[in-house]
Amino acid sequence: MSRAEKTRIDWLATLANFKDDPDHAANDAMWSPRLDGASRDELVAIQNEKISVVTPFLYENSRFYRDRFDRLGLAPTDIATVDDLAKWPVVDKSEMTVDVEANPPFGHYTTMSDDLWRSRGWMQFSTSGTTGTPRVFRYSQIDREYWAWSNARALHAMGFTPADTVFMMSGYGPHVWAWAVQMGLAKMGIGIIPGGGMDGKMRAGVVERFKPTVLCCTPSYALYLGRVMQNMGLDPGATSITKLFCAGEPAMAIDPTREKLEDLWGARLMEFYGCTEAAPQAGGYTCAASGTGTDGPFLHLMEDLQVWETVDPDTMAPTAPGERGLSVCTNLISESSPQLRFLVGDFTTLNHAPCVCGRSHVRAMGCFSGRADDLINLRGIKFFPTQIEKSVRAIPGLGDEFQIILSSRTTDGMDVMKVVVEHPEHKDAAALIDQVVAAIRVETEVRVDVDVVAHNTLPKTEFKAKRVVDERVKV
C-alpha cells in the first residue's frame, strides 16, 4: 500500500469516527447533540485530531499542498493542531488560479485523482470565473454522503421537518448550494418541488396550487416572485409559505432587506453561507434564535467540520477575539477538497459564546455582509454594495432592484457613481432623488448621482445578482 493510499484510509476513518446520528435526528432540538452541543474543549479536540490526520493526507495526495509545504519548509507534522494553523499562510483564490492555469483543467489543489473520479466520482462544480480562470472541484460519493448529513444537521436547526415541502428555485448549474441542499433534504425525507425552467408567473402558480411551505432561492428572486404574485392579484403573505430559505447574496445582515422579505411573504427568513472551495456544505446557517434577540442576526459555523478564523484584510494576520475581519476556513469534512486556511473573504465578527438554542459552535455575528472582492473604492472612499442596498431598501416606494454604475467623467477623468432605482413616479422624482442621495451619503459618505426608472426596468436574476457595473477608465 502506498503512503498516499494509507493516508487516505486514515483520513476517511477519522471522518467516520465523528459522524454522530448520521441517518436521523436524535431529537427535535438537535440532529447530533454530542456534536452540536459539544464544549469548547471537545470541539478543539475534534479539530486537532482531524488536523493531525488531514495534513499528511494533503501532502501525499495533492501536489499543490506538497509543493506549498516544501516551499514553506514545513512538514505535515508541523501542523497538527488548531494552534499550528498560524504557521500556514492563508491560501487565496489567486494562488489556486495560478495552479489551475499551469495544470489545466483541474489543477492540483484537490485530492481527487482521475482514477478516484472514475471509481467513485459524484459531481464536478466550478467557480464562476468572473475574476479569472474558473476553478473546478470534483467531489466524490463519500463527499456526497457527508454533505447530506451535515446539511441535514443545519436544516434541522432551522426548523425544517418532514411536514415541509420545499420549492427549489435556485439554478442547478455548476453551483454547489442547490445540490447540497437537495442532498440534505433527501436525508431528512423532505419533499421537493423542482422549479427550474419556469418564469415568474408559472412559479407563482406552483405556490398557489401545490402549496409548498418553503421557498429556496436568492433574496432578490424572493422579492421578485412576491411582486409577480401581487401583479397577478395574489397576496404572497396569504400563501402557504412559512420559510424563505436564501443564499447567494446577503439578506439576514441587511435589516431593510430582511424586513421587506419577511413582511412581503409573512414568513421567516433563514440563510446558508459557504463557498465551493472549502465550505460547500453547511458552512454557516441560521437557527431559530438568529435575528430574534439582542444579538441580532448571526450564523452558526459548524466547528467539528471546519475551523473558522478571521484575518486582517491588509496583513492577513489573525484578528483579535471579537474583532472584525475576513473569513478563513479550514475544511475538515471532505475526501476531495480539504483545504487549509482558505480565504473565503467575507467580513464578519466571530463570537464563541454559546447560543440560546443550545448550540456551542462559534457564531458569525451580523452574518456576512461584505466580500472583500466586492469592495468599491471611489476616490479613496471604500464601501460595499450592501451599504447601498441598505440605503435604497429603507426608502418606502422604491422597487426591489437597484444598479450601481461606476464611470470616469470625460471632462476631468474623476471617478463618479450613479445609482439607478425604480419607482412608479419616475418622471417626476426630484424629491425622491434628493432622499436617495441623502440616504446613501449618510451610509457611505459618498455623493452620488441618482436615476429613477420605471418598475421592472432593471434586470432580475435567479442566482447572484450583478448590481455593479464598473465602466471606469483603468490606469
Using alpha carbons, list the distances in angstroms from residue 295 to 26, 62, 125: 27, 41, 35
Architecture field, domain 1-371: 3-Layer(aba) Sandwich (3.40)
Give pLDDT, residue 268. 96
Arithmetic mean of pLDDT, 227-254: 92
Give the model's confidence band at 134: pLDDT under 50 very low, under 70 low, under 90 confident, else very high: confident
Give me the chain's average pLDDT, please: 90
344-373: pLDDT as tens digits: 988 899 999 999 999 999 999 988 876 666
Tens-place pLDDT, residues 317-337: 999 988 999 999 999 999 999
CA distance 219 to 239: 18
The C-alpha angle with vertex 365 and arms to 362 and 371, in degrees rounded to 5, equals 105
The answer on pLDDT for 189 being more than 70 is yes
Please say whether the beta carbons of 14 and 332 come within 8 A: no
Residue 70 phi, psi (nearest 5): -65, -40
Chain segment 390-440, per-residue pLDDT in tens: 888 888 888 888 898 888 888 777 788 899 998 887 767 788 888 888 888
At 90-115, the pLDDT tens digits run 999 899 999 999 999 999 999 999 99
- Indicate the residue type of 82: V
376-470 has which CATH code? 3.30.300.30
Separation between Cα atoms, residue 109 and residue 101, nearest integer Å: 12
Residue 65 CA neighbour count, 13 Å, CB half: 24
Phi, psi of 216 (to 5 degrees): -115, 110
Would you kindly state where each structural domain of the chain is located, as residue ranges? 1-371, 376-470
Sign of the alpha-carbon dihedral angle for 22, 217, 192, 278: negative
From 426, 436, 429, select the one nearest 394 (Cα to Cα).
436
Query: For residue 291, is pLDDT > 90?
Result: no
Residue identified by cell 482531524 is: 50
Cα 64 to Cα 54: distance, rounded to the nearest angstrom: 14
Cα distances from 462 to residues 100, 129, 437, in angstroms, run 28, 18, 28
**pLDDT confidence of residue 410:** 80
pTM of the model: 0.85
Q: Residue 328 has what DSSP assignment?
A: E
Q: Cβ distance 312 to 337 under 8 Å?
A: no
CA–CA separation, 158 and 225 (whole Å): 23
- Per-residue DSSP letters for 61-104? H-HHHHHHHHHHT--GGG--STGGGGGSPPB-HHHHHHHHHHST
Q: What is the DSSP letter of 318?
A: B
8 Å CB contact between 158 and 287: yes
**H or E segment at 35?**
helix 33-36
With bands split at pLDDT 50, 70 and 90, how would you rate the model's confidence at 247? Answer: confident
In this model, does residue 11 exceed pLDDT 70?
Answer: yes
Quick one: which H or E segment has residue 17?
helix 3-17
Given this model, what pLDDT does residue 371 score? 67
Q: What's the pLDDT score for residue 266? A: 97
Burial class (CB in 10 A: 0-12, 13-18, 19+), 94: exposed
Q: Band of the pLDDT at 12, cuts 50, 70, 90?
A: very high
Kindly state the average pLDDT of the residues 253-264: 91
DSSP state of 455: T
Total residue length of the chain = 475
CA-based R_g, the chain, Å:
23
What single letter denotes the amino acid at residue 1?
Answer: M
String of DSSP letters for 37-62? T--HHHHHHHHHHHHHHHHHHHHHH-
The DSSP line for 356-398 is TTS--S-EEET----BGGG-EEETTEEE-HHHHHHHHHTSTT-
How far, in whole angstroms, is CA 19 from its chain's centroid?
Answer: 23
The DSSP output letter for 174 is S
Portion of the chain with pLDDT greater than 70, in percent: 95
Nearest CA-CA partner of 426 in 397, 394, 400, 401: 397
SS (H, E, C) 179-243: HHHHHHHHHHCCEEEECCCCCHHHHHHHHHHHCCCEEEECHHHHHHHHHHHHHCCCCHHHCCCCE
Give the pLDDT mean for 218-232. 91
